[in-house]
Structure 1
Amino acid sequence: MTTHSPDEHLGSRYTLVSHINDGAMGEVWRVEDAQGRLHAAKILRPGISDNAEMVKRFVSERNLLLSVHHPNVVGVHDLVVEGDTLAIIMDLVEGRDLRQILRASGTLTQSDAALVCAELADGLQAIHEQHIVHRDMKPANVLVDETGSELVPRITDFGVSRLAEPGPGAVNPTLVAGTPHYMAPELLMNQTPTPASDLYSLGIMLYELVTGVTPFADRAPAAAMQAQLSLDPGRPAGLDDRVWDVLVWLTRKEPFRRPASAARAAQALREASDQTLVLPVLEPLRTPPPAVPVDVPNAIVLAPGRAATMLDGGTAPGSSGWGSTSGWAPGTAAGA
């Protein structure tokens, strides 16, 4: 239920126009600035905005959040701090989120799914270069710009995820931030998040885009969290080797065995997309195939000094080189 209404002022520069949706961290509104330009505003919920340490942290993060500029990221333009109101002013993306598109289409082709994830990896690279880890990559946090000749997936909520990280002023310092069915194993072990944590979630998203379900969708959240630690995704029938190899690389339990960077992941995903253009779309699954026990369950605790190894990354899947591809065809994601 919204606690705001149209025509309300948001700070001294913005006016609420229309309500877009609600989320766990607050309400999202279409707003107009003093020059008549439209933006999206995430107004953070009470409990965050009345936390003095959170307000301090919110202000201190301003320059960092405003520093990320990339076509596959929903940019942050301003932070509003006024009384007990905190809001993040962002790009207004006209379109659906990736979750809505997936519900409408069931699945994407293997080529389109790999290309979408490649473009998201491009956006993650820009976020990671500013020393930000998203921590909650999932289809609902990807908005798809449908206004041009090509559909453009854009990562959103990286600012909220940043503010939710454990530390001074965190919403709940004991809370593990993220969504169980997409969370990297190391986050469940309360280890420090790294860019590799986002790449794991991206691999789970790739699985969902080609099958319609996450690898552990048949489990309740608590059981899914345990599965992230001790089970590998089951291979869906009909999934091409080239897509599967990249998916396995992204979802390795040990962070240091995943791609060295989002940029490397994007290269591998684009090659997989190039090589699967003619393959048909897979039928959506109701439940995932049986998961496979890992060789050494829970063997993800990093040794001291392993951070440098994590940046070097694991071994790439057996492909001949990195390629490139054209845009994500309009209408494909909607099942046209």
Structure 2
Amino acid sequence: MARKIGSRYTAHQIVGRGSAGTVWLGEGPEGPVAVKLLREDLASDQDLVERFVQERSALLCLDHPRVVGVRDLVVDGNDLALVMDLVRGTDLRTRLEHERRLAPEAAVAIAADIADALAAAHSAGIVHRDVKPENVLLDALAPAGPGGAPPALLTDFGVAKLIDSPRRTRATAIIGTPDYLAPEIVEGLPPRASVDIYALATVLYELLAGFTPFGGGHPGAVLRRHVTESVAPLPGIPDELWQLIHQCLAKAPASRLRAAELASRLRELLPSVAGLPPLDIDEHTEEMYEDDSLSPENPAPEETTAPAPVPAAGAVPLVHSGAGPDSNRDTHTSMRVPGADELAGGAHGTARAPRSPGAPRAGSARHHRPTPERRTRLGVLSALLVVLLALTVLFIAL
């Protein structure tokens, strides 16, 4: 059913849902638009409405071919909405769900487009804060680029910052999606432009590998890995590309590249990855608990929101309390920042090293599965213990 959004726009049908609200196919004075209508409880927050209005000028001025443009911000009664350019196509998460992983040339081309978008935003003083496949749209009507990849556009600028209202989150809360959070965010530092570079490098790693470098298991464990573990190399890509990803996943924000330099370097690497097939590495099927500190008897620290069921691969999404259905995992999560002792409690090392299909992961439960000989010895020892116990009981009875 159609509904009016302010005096200039009409929303016709819902095309997506997220924890922050719903996305509608709409119509405005200049033609079709996408309308992101925020939840009613957000619209009723006067502090957020004021922040919404303050962000209006910056978001309207962000004009770049690789950015989904914001045409208007509407505050009308209980309606709080972003009116955006309509992109005909799908999001990057949907493509990953269909293809699992992309050929390196397509992955690098998409990452270069998003780096261009971030360069424009950062030069305007805007930090995205929630770069992830759900927020990357692929324009199906535009000519394909390198590797057959459609042009990629970054959307949802400003939404994470709007949701991060002082009334809604404490100073010890995290806003974002766990798989893509830079370590400095986990440690409670304010978000700078470098957090977007870290998130984009995580997305590029996921496009190539089919899983994120630090994801999997309890969200608390994901956050800790960002801080304590190093990223595992990806086999089958040029060393120059791996070094670029590795640098942008550095724990120290100052060690990462700036967005403009990252875009330039990625495009320089396109000829070296042209024609390469998608990587042939093991599917992401890591065990839920990778060490004793995260066993069912020793769960990760309590979070401010309950974790969603862990998918087989990709992001570990959390839904903000009070959120409705989250069909596209467009999440802005509020989580407690782990304490220093909690962050230091995990194993230090390399996270989730890719391996050849079928090979066990070193340190995993499968890796330490008893051999037949060991099982035989254990069986004999168990039998001897039973006999000794029986003799002891008999001796006591006599």
Q: Aligned partners of 1:187, 1:288: CA distance in 2, in Å?
A: 27
Q: Aligned partners of 2:25, 2:7: CA distance in 1, in Å?
A: 16
Question: What residue identity is the alignment partner of 1:179?
Answer: T
Q: Aligned partners of 2:20, 2:50: CA distance in 1, in Å?
A: 17
Q: Aligned partners of 1:59, 1:81: CA distance in 2, in Å?
A: 8
Q: Where do 1:255-270 residues align within 5 Å? A: 255-259=253-257, 261-270=258-267
Q: Which of 265, 283, 297 is equivalent to 2:280?
A: 283
- Whether 1:58 aligns to 2:56 is no
- Whether 1:125 aligns to 2:119 is yes
- Whether 1:141 aligns to 2:132 is no
SS in 1 for 2:176: coil
Q: Aligned partners of 2:267, 2:197: CA distance in 1, in Å?
A: 15
Residues matched between the structures, number: 284
Q: Aligned partners of 1:212, 1:166: CA distance in 2, in Å?
A: 33
Single out whichever of 78-87 and 270-279 deviates more from structure 2. Answer: 270-279
Residue of structure 1 equivalent to 2:155 = 156
Question: What residue identity is the alignment partner of 1:254?
Answer: A
Question: What residue identity is the alignment partner of 1:159?
Answer: G
Residue 173 of structure 1 and its aligned partner are, at CA, apart by 5.8
Residue 291 of structure 1 and its aligned partner are, at CA, apart by 5.0
Q: Aligned partners of 1:173, 1:52: CA distance in 2, in Å?
A: 19
Q: Aligned partners of 2:59, 2:139: CA distance in 1, in Å?
A: 21
Q: Is the 8 A contact 1:143 1:156 kept in 2?
A: yes
Q: Which of 9, 12, 36 is equivalent to 2:7?
A: 12
Q: Is the 8 A contact 1:95 1:146 kept in 2?
A: yes
SS in 2 for 1:78: strand
Residue 288 of structure 1 and its aligned partner are, at CA, apart by 7.8
Q: Is the 8 A contact 2:205 2:211 kept in 1?
A: yes
- Whether 1:24 aligns to 2:24 is no
Gaps in structure 2 of 5+ consecutive residues: 145-149, 287-351, 355-398
SS in 1 for 2:101: coil
Per-residue displacement from partner, 1:66-109 (whole Å, max 9, x unpaired)?
01011111100001101121000001111110011111112111
Q: TM-score, structure 1 length as denominator?
A: 0.80
Q: Aligned partners of 2:256, 2:142: CA distance in 1, in Å?
A: 34
User: Displaced runs of 4+ in structure 1, greater than 6 A?
Assistant: none
Q: Which of 173, 176, 193 is equivalent to 1:195?
A: 193
Q: Is the 8 A contact 1:143 1:154 kept in 2?
A: yes
Relative to structure 1, the CA distance from residue 170 to residue 272 in structure 2 (aligned partners, 3 Å threshold; closer, same or farther) is: farther
SS in 1 for 2:36: strand
Q: Is the 8 A contact 1:48 1:54 kept in 2?
A: yes
Q: Where do 1:1-336 residues align within 5 Å? A: 6-35=1-30, 37-150=31-144, 151-165=150-164, 167=166, 174-259=172-257, 261-283=258-280, 285-287=282-284, 290=352
Q: Aligned partners of 1:193, 1:90: CA distance in 2, in Å?
A: 25
Relative to structure 1, the CA distance from residue 174 to residue 33 in structure 2 (aligned partners, 3 Å threshold; closer, same or farther) is: farther
Residue 166 of structure 1 and its aligned partner are, at CA, apart by 5.1
Question: What residue identity is the alignment partner of 1:14?
Answer: Y
Residue 174 of structure 1 and its aligned partner are, at CA, apart by 4.8
Compare CA radii of gyration and give the structure with the larger one. Answer: 2
Q: Is the 8 A contact 1:231 1:291 kept in 2?
A: no
Q: Aligned partners of 1:85, 1:172: CA distance in 2, in Å?
A: 25
Residue 171 of structure 1 and its aligned partner are, at CA, apart by 6.2
Residue 170 of structure 1 and its aligned partner are, at CA, apart by 5.7
**How big is the alpha-carbon RMSD for the aligned residues of Structure 1 and Structure 2?**
1.9
Per-residue displacement from partner, 1:256-315 (whole Å, max 9, x unpaired)?
0001x20011111112222221322213642289359xxxxxxxxxxxxxxxxxxxxxxx
Residue 56 of structure 1 and its aligned partner are, at CA, apart by 1.0
Question: What residue identity is the alignment partner of 1:228?
Answer: H
Gaps in structure 1 of 5+ consecutive residues: 1-5, 293-336
SS in 2 for 1:177: strand
Q: Is the 8 A contact 2:234 2:242 kept in 1?
A: no
SS in 2 for 1:96: strand
Q: TM-score, structure 2 length as denominator?
A: 0.68
Q: Aligned partners of 1:232, 1:164: CA distance in 2, in Å?
A: 30
SS in 1 for 2:161: helix
Question: What residue identity is the alignment partner of 1:70?
Answer: H
Residue 240 of structure 1 and its aligned partner are, at CA, apart by 2.4
Single out whichever of 73-82 and 264-273 deviates more from structure 2. Answer: 264-273
Relative to structure 1, the CA distance from residue 154 to residue 247 in structure 2 (aligned partners, 3 Å threshold; closer, same or farther) is: same
Residue 52 of structure 1 and its aligned partner are, at CA, apart by 0.8
Identity %: 38
Per-residue displacement from partner, 1:91-130 (whole Å, max 9, x unpaired)?
1111110011111112111122111111100000111111
SS in 1 for 2:220: helix
Question: What residue identity is the alignment partner of 1:8?
Answer: R
Q: Is the 8 A contact 1:180 1:224 kept in 2?
A: yes
Per-residue displacement from partner, 1:162-218 (whole Å, max 9, x unpaired)?
313455x66666531111111100011111111111000011011100111111233
Residue of structure 1 equivalent to 2:304 = none
